[in-house]
Structures are given as structure tokens and as C-alpha cells.
Structure 1
Amino acid sequence: MDKIIRLTDSTFEVAISRAVAVLESGGIIALPTDTIYGLSTTLNNADKLFKLKFRSRTKPFALFLSDVTEISKWAIPTIDIHTMRRLLPGPVTLVFNRSSRLPANFNEGHRTIGIRIPDHSFVRALSKRLGDTPLTQTSANFSGAAENPVSVEDFEELWPGVDLIIDDDVLRDPTGKVSRCGSTVVNLSIPGTYSIIRDGW
């Protein structure tokens, strides 16, 4: 089977099914989001992403979810669901205190967890298909890379370590420009306050 699937209306369901099969067998996929290309695997296989990216274990991963109603399963929200719906889906990562439901060895030593619900039909459909299995996610590049990936060619050096690549062409911002910005990361872990950890879209 081809490792790369070009995402179109006619290949969408095939791509979802292939991605689910790869993830359920413990593999890694590369996929488009509403900002840049990312790498994902299931929660129990997050260790593989550290190794692939040569990433320090002091840098935590975030989770992909399909809907804001799932956030309270994995995090402790400090804002109401109506406010969350104003922010997500979208190019934002919300950081809350982590739920005790998360395995202790996931992002070990970190009391918070980033939650991402991209405004991209593939990621959300994939997350929904996986049900109660959240996706660990990170950018599709080596740790410390100078540029974020907006095409599958941008991370070609990672292809050998990835089991499936979903190609949605060159990713662009809402104005049609190539921005290479990741999501804006907002710390909401302390009730009644917020801080911007990283500026993005």
C-alpha cells in the first residue's frame, strides 16, 4: 500500500479507515490541521513520537479531540462550554490542568495538558472515529526545527519513521497565505486568569 494518501472528497473515507488501522496497530501518522502538518499516535504510543522527533521529554505533547464535550474527560476546564465553543474548533490550543484519567506516564511530571480541536474535517473525523482514544499530537518536524511544515515535502526526512501520510496539499491561513504559524497556545489552568504561552494564528 502507498504510504501517502492525497486527501480528496473521493479518498476521504479511505484515508480515515487507513489512519484508524495504523493508529490501532500502534503506528504514527502525519496529517494536516488548520495550521501546519502534525504527527499523531494514540496516547499509549506517545513514546514513539519522542524518539522520532528527537524531542526532550521535558516538552509535553497535546491531545487532538473531536469536540469540546470531550475536554472534561482528559482535562479540568476552567471556562464554560459556551466559551470553549467560541474558541474551538480553531487554531488554538487550550491548556488546562490534566485529569487523573490520563496515564501517569503520559507527559510525566507535567500537571497540565494542551487540548487541540483543529478546524479541519479530517482530524475531527478521525478523532471521532477513534472514539474514546485521544490522539497525541505534535508538529511534523524535528524538535527545534527552524520552520513549521505546511506541505508533506517539508518533513520528508521524517517519512521513514511515519507509517501513513495524509497529504492535503500546501496548508494556508484563512486569507490564502502560507504562514507557517502554529496554533496560539493559551494557558487557562488557573481559574479566572489566562496567559498566552505562544502566539500563532
Structure 2
Amino acid sequence: MHTELCQADDASIRRAATLLRAGELVAFPTETVYGLGADALNGEAAARIFAAKGRPADNPLIAHIAGESGLAGLIAGEPCACARALMRAFWPGPMTLIFPKSPRVPREVTAGLDTVAVRMPSHPVARTLISAAQTPIAAPSANRSGRPSPTTAAHVLEDMEGRIPLILDGGPCEVGLESTVVDVTGARPRILRPGGVTLEMLEGVVGDVDVDEGVLHQLQAGSQARSPGMKYKHYAPKGEVTIVTGPRAAQEIARLYDAADGRAAILAFSQADYGARRVYRLKNAPGELFAALRQLDEDGMETIYAEDVPTTGVGLAVMNRLMRAAAFRVVEAQ
């Protein structure tokens, strides 16, 4: 299959919408990361997402809508008061809500769950595409499963060339991390995946919000993922990532680097001085993380030692992605 990379103008968006209505896949920009889209009400089309990505079938997808009217046919009943408050505050934007699902939603989208994840993106290309397709669009990140998520169209082409017919290029993604996923089906809202809408922002609207244990810890074998990004190794470069924490983290990172075999690198979020060692220093961790992980691959880094970040604000989302990129490999330096 030939994969065409097109600027996201009106003509290419109309063409992409036609492909989606025909059950094909299209990659498109959002404010978070690039998405790999299919008609969310077409089970066969959604199944093509899993094949193109190499994605496990028990990892649910997010349905994207252009307006609140798009909830009809996706969710059972009406949104609860908590959901409505969050929608007013953060939609359109980088927040996904988990609702009881409508019978119309195919099991390929929900991974067999009785809930459905829904988001209203703010990116103008995404919203125009959804409206033109006249259907909600199911879309995970447009990368091969387990790889760092794509924040540019070039990243998508790197992973998806020959697997999908069309990529819409809308430039770099503004947020650079996937959406915050909030389950509103219980007595209290619960973060299943952190993102650009932080715990503190959510609590400013609805009061107490729980954080699922799976955000920073590995799910037990056999557990069902209730949200994308919970169960499997994600976001990983080809090199082995180890997170180093604790008051002597910088010294331990330097020691581990010096003892490493092969090509080693340090992923730094602080201004710690590592001398002449190879350091990838991120000034904007959320926006630069995935691009940095891909750059580590391009540069052939085999061993990567990463600093940790405080888990307040968007730092919780950064640590969530790092923990999964490292397959929960952590060294504590006391």
C-alpha cells in the first residue's frame, strides 16, 4: 500500500473523510498527538487499527467527536452531573471521559468493555475531519504499538508507511502527550491515564478525584485495561530505559552511565551537571518527551538513564509515560 502525506487543507480533509466513511484508516493531527482514525461505529474499520498498529485487541480505543451532539449513539443515557461539569471546563481539549456505552458501539472499539471512552479534540483539523466524516472517529496514537507516540506527521510516516493510505499533516502537536482519561462511571471521578488536564485542574472543578493505581504501577497479569495506556509497555524507544530516583540520582546516573556497555545516554529534566557525558536535556518535558525518545532511537542509543520528575501537575503524566517506556525499571539512589 502507498501511504500519501498531505497538507491538511480543505481538499485533503474531504478526501480523508471519504476514506473514513469507506472503512479505511487515516492519520490526522490533534492537539495531543497524531491519531490513527477509523469510523467508530464500524467494527471492521476499527479492527484495521489494531492490525496496522500491532495493537493488542484488549486495549480499548477513544472515540472522538466534534460536538456534544456526537455523544448520542456512543453513550447510554445522559452524562452525569460530574461529567457535565468536566465537559464544560475542558471540552474541547485534551481530556477523555469514560461513559457507559451505547449498544451501537462495536466491541472492537471498547475491547469488550461495557464502557466507552470519548473525547472532543480542540485541534481545528481534527474537528473539521470529524464533521466532514459525519461519524465519530475511533483513534489511538498513530504509531506502531509500544513505540513513542507521534507528535509530527514525519513520526507517523516513520511507523505507518505502507500500512495506511493517508496522513494529514497539520504540523507539530501543541500538547505532545495523550489526553487525560477520567472514569466518571463511579461514585467519584478517577484518573486512569494522566495528561495535559492535570489532577489539580480536575479537582478545581469537581472536588476530590481519585488516581488509579495503574497510573504509576504495573497492572497485575490478567487484569483488564479500562483505558488506553494502562496495561502494556508503551512509548518505548529501542534502547533500554531505566529511571533513577532519589536524592543521589544524578550521581547514580553518572556512575551507571560510566559502567554501561554500548552507546549510553542520559535523559535529563533538571540542570544537573553530567560533564562530557551524552545528555538529552528537555526544557519542556511534556511537549518534547516523545520526540526525544525517537531521537534516542535515531542516534542509536542502547542504554538510557532517565531522571525522574515530581508527580505534581503535568509531571504525573510525564512519569506515567516514562514508567511505561522503562517497563517499570527503576533504580533508587539514596
**Interval containing the TM-score (normalised by the shorter chain):** 0.7 to 0.9
1:138-191: CA deviation from partner (whole Å, max 9, x where unpaired):
10111122x221111213131211111111122233xxxxxx31111111122x
Partner of 1:187: 183
Which residue does the alignment assign to 1:87?
A: 90
Cα gap change, 1:105 to 1:140, in 2 (>3 Å): closer
1:163 matched residue in structure 2? 165
Map residues 1-201 of structure 1 onto 2, 5 A cutoff: 3-7=4-8, 11=9, 13-43=10-40, 44=42, 45-76=45-76, 77-79=79-81, 81=84, 83-104=86-107, 106-131=109-134, 133-145=135-147, 147-155=148-156, 156-173=158-175, 180-190=176-186, 192-201=187-196
TM-score by length of 1: 0.85
RMSD: 1.9
Distance 1:82 1:148 in 2: 29
CA distance, structure 2, for counterparts of residue 3 and residue 20 of structure 1: 15
The 8 Å contact of residues 20 and 38 in structure 2, kept in 1 or not, is answered as yes
Structure with higher Rg: it is: 2
TM-score by length of 2: 0.53
C-alpha distance in 2 between matches for 1:87 and 1:64: 14
For residues 197 and 82 of structure 1, do their structure 2 counterparts lie closer, same or farther at Cα, with a shift above 3 Å needed? closer
Q: Is the 8 A contact 1:57 1:107 kept in 2?
A: no
1:177 alignment counterpart: none
Counterparts of 1:103 and 1:52, CA distance in 2: 18
Q: Unmatched 5+ residue regions in structure 2? A: 197-334
AA of the residue aligned to 1:140: A
How far is the alpha carbon of 1:22 from its aligned partner?
A: 1.2
Q: Is the 8 A contact 2:3 2:161 kept in 1?
A: no
How far, CA to CA, are the matches of 2:139 and 2:55 in structure 1? 13
Provide the C-alpha distance between the structure 2 equivalents of 1:3 and 1:101, rounded to a whole number of angstroms: 32
Task: Give the Cα–Cα distance (whole angstroms) in 1 for the partners of residues 150 and 35 of structure 2.
Answer: 8
Aligned residues: 188
Asked whether the 8 Å contact 1:36–1:182 carries over to 2, the reply is yes
The answer to which structure, 1 or 2, has the higher relative contact order (CA under 8 A, 6+ apart) is 1
Structure 2 CA distance for partners of 1:149 and 1:108, relative to 1, 3 Å: closer
| Cα distance in 2, alignment partners of residues 105 and 6 from structure 1 | 30
Contact kept, 8 Å, 1:68 with 1:85, in 2: the verdict is no
Percent identity between matched residues is: 30
Please tell me whether the aligned partners of residues 107 and 113 of structure 2 are also in contact (alpha carbons under 8 angstroms): no
Asked if the contact 2:5/2:166 (under 8 Å) is kept, the reply is: yes
- Alpha-carbon distance, 1:196 to partner: 0.4
> 1:172 is aligned with what amino acid?
E
- Structure 2 distance, partners of 1:94, 1:185, is 6
Closer, same or farther in 2 for the Cα pair 1:36/1:105, shift >3 Å? closer
Q: Note the residue ranges of structure 1 that are not aligned, 5 or more in a row.
A: 174-179
User: Measured at CA, do residues 110 and 2 of structure 1 come closer, stay the same or move farther in structure 2, by a change above 3 Å?
Assistant: closer
